[in-house]
Structure 1
Amino acid sequence: MRRPPGLSARLKLTLSYAGIVIVSGTVLLVLVWFFLLRYLPDKPQGLLWTSPNRFLLTRIFGRVAAIAMVALVAFGLLGGWLLAGRMLAPLTKITDAARLAAEGSLSHRIRLPGKADEFRALSDVFDTMLEQLESHVAEQRRFAANASHELRTPLAISQSLLDLARQDPARVDAELLDRLHTASRRAIDLTEALLLLSRGERGTFPREPVDLSLIAEEAAETLLPLAEQRGVALDVTGSNTTTTGSPELLLRVVTNLVQNAIVHNVPGGSVTVNVEPQHRACVLRVENTGKVLPPDLVPTLAEPFQRGSRVRTDDHAGVGLGLAIVHSVVRAHEGALDLAPRPAGGLRVTIRLPSA
């Protein structure tokens, strides 16, 4: 924003301090003069109040008052300038830090020393904002790099297969078409997942009452053939509980959780989905059996493209955005996501959403 030039805050404070000193000094001199005129006797008493000496006293007081006013003005301006500079020094550091941040440097911190006051509170808030902004920017850069890498792989495979088919059209067979279809499907799935993740992070979607128990039953019914194929028991329990949000996004959340629980399981394992109201909240809990997960791995599972040891190479290989999408959509619905390893193996995922 372009603004017309004006006085600096330091000059304004200086003039304010000087004005206060001048006004205070003027009032003091007026009171002294009023005291001399009102409370000292008017009749001549002694040499001090003889006519010539009284006139001389009046002139001397006037000169002293003028000198005092000049001294007060000079002292007010100089003292106000120094005091304003000292008071505004922290603000200058904050301004310099903000200017560096505007130029793209987010690694610096202000860290004003001293006891708490308004400037240091502003400095601490600004440092916290810089730290969060730097972390967010770094996360977005990693996400962009990972997304580019993930998209490049299926596109490179498709390009290689197409080049092979163009060089030798006679070698175009069902196997090559299947591989090309698989690579294209993976690229499409990744693109749709990225769009869904972006939609969840923006939080721009229509909201309506949603029964989580019905959503859980629909997701389980859709994935029941996959569970039977892998020999995993799928059980849905709970009661009706209603939240407010997008039925499509919440169905995608539950579907992702149940599909992960089925795929990351062991033969003869089980998946339990439970929905219940709890303390003015809708609680969805998905548990599955499986391998014992390291405690330090679990917190990273909700990060984009962070698969850990959960990589799959079968037809249900994911794009590494399943739990990231879940986290994004839950956060957009003002809910909370909790991941915890089960002592016997597997994962317990708990989602809390506000009740309608």
Structure 2
Amino acid sequence: MNRTPGLSVRLKFTLSYAGFLLVAGAVLLAVVWVFLLRYVPNQDGQDALTPFGPSRDDLLRAFVPAAAWASLVLLAFMVFGGWLLAGRMLAPLDRITRATRRAATGSLSHRIELEGRRDEFRELADSFDVMLARLEAQVAEQQRFAANASHELRTPLAITQTLLDVARNDPRGESAELIERLRTVNLRAINLTEALLLLSRTGQGTFEREAVDVSLASEEAVEALLPLAEKRGVTIEISGAITVTDGSHTLLLQLVTNLVHNAIVHNLAHEGSVWVKTETDAQHAVLIVENTGAQLSPHLVATLTEPFQRGSARTRTDDSGVGLGLAIVESISRAHDGSLAIEPRPGGGLRAVVRLPALLR
């Protein structure tokens, strides 16, 4: 935005400071003048009692020039002193301005780190440092996400290209098996694209809100995933009371589905278990999903909400998904002003806890 150049804040502070003190000095001189006039008579006032010898005319000739010179000296002193004081007071703002300009050029690694006790400038500088730290972390996360997404999308496209080259060079023209493999690869690419779009949608927070019973959404998700659980030999237990929050039913159903799907897929090879529980505390609607499985380290668990992280290794099966399940869960939780906490279970597996603002009736 183009703006007309104006006076600097430092100069405005200086002029304001000098002007205020000049007015105060003028008022003080006026009070002194009025006080003196009470005791100094006019030239024809012979009956006035005064301890002073001179008349008002004599006082006027002596007082006004001295007051004028004193005012000029005081004004110069006030301008000089105001300029120094304003510069000292605005020095932190100058540091904040330089940091803002560096951030505008794309540099997010620097910090203001303003010294001294807490005041308005210190709070502004600290808030700016926190903002820079969050922006730097988000940019780094987006860069990792873009790199991982490019890698994940490149794989099915490369496979498709290879299969098409094989089909073109196949003299027998047998295409039934090739079509099936292309369908599988294409479905994987579609699922990945839809997951990326969902992740982007939840990050923007553009959805309509309504009262949603998380316990009913959990039952719906479990019922839809029962065939997958039976196929993999996993039993699912669901319990809990009515748990209502304010949000999107579609997104919250996706949240529960992703958690239960993740719990089924990343489980024991035989006789695994999944527990789904909903409850309400004083302020939160709570969803808890636990599963048996391999022993996971806390360091590994801390990375599972990053896009394209899959359990203990980056392996893939037909049901393992595209590696965005927990990333989408965390994004949906944040979009609903909630949180996701995951931790390894002592006996192996994972415990995921989603806390959402409770909608009290």
Q: Shared fold by TM > 0.5?
A: yes
Is 1:264–1:310's contact at 8 Å kept on the other side of the alignment? no
Aligned length: 354
1:260 aligned residue (259, 262, 285): 262
* Aligned-pair CA distance for 1:153: 0.9
User: Distance in 2 between the 1:312 and 1:222 partners?
Assistant: 24
1:28-177 equivalences in 2 (<5 Å): 28-39=28-39, 49=53, 58-170=60-172, 172-177=174-179
User: Distance in 1 between the 2:220 and 2:171 partners?
Assistant: 45
User: What corresponds to 2:294 in structure 1?
Assistant: 291
Is 1:312–1:318's contact at 8 Å kept on the other side of the alignment? no
User: What corresponds to 1:327 in structure 2?
Assistant: 330
User: Distance in 2 between the 1:243 and 1:50 partners?
Assistant: 88
- Quick one: structure 1 residues 24 and 154, their matched pair in 2 at CA, closer, same or farther if it must change by over 3 Å? same
- Three-state SS of the structure 2 residue aligned to 1:305 is coil
The one-letter amino acid paired with 2:248 is S
- Three-state SS of the structure 2 residue aligned to 1:257 is helix
Q: CA offsets per residue over residues 160-205 of structure 1, 9 Å max, x none?
A: 2112222335354444333322221211111011011111112212
- Quick one: structure 1 residues 310 and 249, their matched pair in 2 at CA, closer, same or farther if it must change by over 3 Å? farther
User: Distance in 1 between the 2:66 and 2:222 partners?
Assistant: 96
1:192-203 equivalences in 2 (<5 Å): 192-203=194-205
User: Distance in 2 between the 1:9 and 1:46 partners?
Assistant: 51
User: Distance in 2 between the 1:324 and 1:133 partners?
Assistant: 18
Unaligned residue ranges in structure 2 (runs of 5+): none
Unaligned residue ranges in structure 1 (runs of 5+): none
Q: CA offsets per residue over residues 118-148 of structure 1, 9 Å max, x none?
A: 1111111111111111111111111111111
TM-score w.r.t. structure 1 length? Answer: 0.91
The one-letter amino acid paired with 1:347 is L
* Aligned-pair CA distance for 1:354: 2.7
User: Distance in 2 between the 1:322 and 1:215 partners?
Assistant: 17
> Percent same amino acid among aligned pairs?
62
- Quick one: structure 1 residues 305 and 115, their matched pair in 2 at CA, closer, same or farther if it must change by over 3 Å? same
TM-score w.r.t. structure 2 length? Answer: 0.90
The one-letter amino acid paired with 2:194 is E
User: Distance in 1 between the 2:334 and 2:173 partners?
Assistant: 50
- Three-state SS of the structure 2 residue aligned to 1:297 is helix
User: What corresponds to 2:321 in structure 1?
Assistant: 318
- Three-state SS of the structure 1 residue aligned to 2:337 is coil
Indicate the RMSD between aligned Cα atoms, in angstroms: 2.4
- Three-state SS of the structure 1 residue aligned to 2:236 is strand
- Three-state SS of the structure 2 residue aligned to 1:286 is strand
